[in-house]
């Protein structure tokens, strides 16, 4: 589902730097940037720049840039940003509403520590974001740094996230055809990421990371801050005390039980849980009030039970509906039996 809305133009103030993000086989894979209020070192105290700077006002020619190795992203002055209210917070830091040279934007603000370790991670995150161009994914427009903070300037969503739309008391009933359009939009974004070379693994697909514009007209996946160009674990703590990629209730069995690295297969499981919640308007796992989330899911997964919302989901559709069968496959305990995002997309119809 493409949008008729235009992405805000990436206008850079006169004299703003054009940063060349150069790829290196030694570059660390992307993971969550460590968050701290007491940084040991700040970005500007390093002898080397964060990225490979071109002199101000210089021209970058085609011969300077190998498309497979370098990406260009504008670095702007912090004084060009008028930072406003906080609109989201997570393991990555916080997101604030802002204006950039008169344009409404969202600014992802991350405190950074241990710069010797996190510098390649920051570069990798910027590289991933800067190469992504899809109408169903929030666009990175520019970035800047100030002392120990990294600011990523992103498109601003004018609505809510899908979790709020599904579960807030004051929200009305979402028609079935609109739910299917939302589903198609999410899967299009996932298919785009998985078909990059190398594939980009989101690692945390869930309703909270699906942004919905007013009147549900534009759907965009966000929070690629814990994506992966390669499949390796990130540093997100679970209630079980282990380090695993993603959010507990949406983790695939192989990730949750075996602490495996995230893959496109585990993204498909998370997408399946998100779709269950969208259509049933109930949590994927119905945890009893007095139970521990991790312990409950672990018990269910050991017996290979599908998510609790599966039965309600299957009852919505007729017996031979291909869509419900492909979602059932997406939530298979055998990861290799799960369909690809493109296979999911080809079966998204009522």
- CATH number of the structural domain spanning residue 329: 1.10.510.10
The pLDDT of residue 122 is 75
Question: Would residue 10 count as lying in a domain?
Answer: no
- Give pTM, 2 decimals: 0.76
**Is residue 291 predicted with pLDDT exceeding 70?**
yes
Same domain, 115 and 167: no
Across the chain, mean pLDDT equals 78
Question: Would residue 11 count as lying in a domain?
Answer: no
**14: Cβ–Cβ under 8 A, 6 or more apart, which residues?**
none
Starting from the edge strand earliest in sequence, which strands make up the sheet with 93-100, in order? 52-53, 17-22, 70-75, 140-146, 149-154, 103-111, 93-100, 81-90
Q: How many domains does the chain have?
A: 2
Same domain, 190 and 261: yes
Residues of the domain holding 314: 160-346
The pLDDT of residue 19 is 39
Q: How confident is the model at residue 13 (pLDDT cuts 50, 70, 90)?
A: very low
Same domain, 144 and 169: no
**Among 67-76, 94-103, 247-256, which is the least confidently predicted range?**
67-76
| For the ranges 27-31, 90-94, 245-249, the one whose mean pLDDT is highest | 245-249
The pLDDT of residue 116 is 66
Q: Which helix (H) or strand (E) holds 140?
A: strand 140-146
| For the ranges 50-64, 150-164, 242-256, 300-314, the one whose mean pLDDT is highest | 300-314
Segment 25-42 shows an average pLDDT of: 37
The pLDDT of residue 48 is 43
The pLDDT of residue 11 is 44
């Amino acid at each position: 589902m493409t949008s008729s809305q235009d992405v805000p133009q990436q206008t850079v103030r006169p004299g703003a730097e054009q940063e060349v993000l150069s790829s290196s086989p030694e570059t660390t894979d992307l993971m969550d940037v460590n968050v701290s209020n007491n940084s040991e070192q700040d970005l500007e105290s390093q002898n080397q720049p964060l990225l490979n700077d071109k002199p101000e006002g210089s021209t970058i020619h085609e011969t300077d840039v190998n498309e497979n190795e370098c990406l260009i992203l504008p670095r702007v002055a912090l004084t060009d940003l008028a930072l406003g209210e906080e609109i989201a917070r997570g393991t990555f830091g916080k997101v604030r509403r802002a204006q950039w040279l008169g344009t409404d934007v969202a600014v992802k603000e991350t405190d950074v520590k241990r710069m010797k370790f996190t510098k390649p991670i920051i570069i990798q995150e910027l590289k991933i974001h800067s190469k992504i161009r899809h109408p169903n994914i929030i666009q990175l427009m520019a970035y800047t740094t100030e002392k120990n903070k990294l600011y990523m300037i992103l498109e601003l969503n004018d609505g809510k996230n899908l979790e709020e739309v599904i579960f807030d008391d004051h929200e009305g009933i979402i028609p079935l055809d609109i739910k299917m359009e939302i589903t198609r939009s999410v899967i299009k974004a996932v298919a785009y990421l998985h078909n990059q070379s190398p594939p980009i693994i989101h690692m945390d697909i869930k309703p909270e990371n699906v942004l919905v514009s007013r009147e549900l007209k534009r759907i965009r996946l966000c929070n690629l801050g814990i994506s992966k160009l390669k499949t390796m674990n990130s540093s997100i703590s679970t209630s079980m005390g282990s380090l695993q990629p993603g959010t507990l209730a949406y983790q695939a069995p192989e990730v949750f039980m075996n602490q495996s690295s995230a893959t496109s297969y585990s993204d498909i499981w998370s997408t399946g849980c998100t779709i269950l919640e969208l259509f049933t308007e109930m949590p994927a796992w119905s945890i009893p009030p007095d139970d521990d989330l991790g312990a409950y899911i672990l018990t269910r997964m050991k017996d290979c039970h599908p998510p609790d919302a599966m039965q309600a989901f299957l009852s919505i559709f007729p017996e031979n509906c291909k869509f419900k069968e492909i979602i059932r496959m997406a939530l298979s305990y055998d990861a290799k039996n799960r369909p690809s995002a493109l296979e999911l997309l080809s079966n998204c119809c009522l």
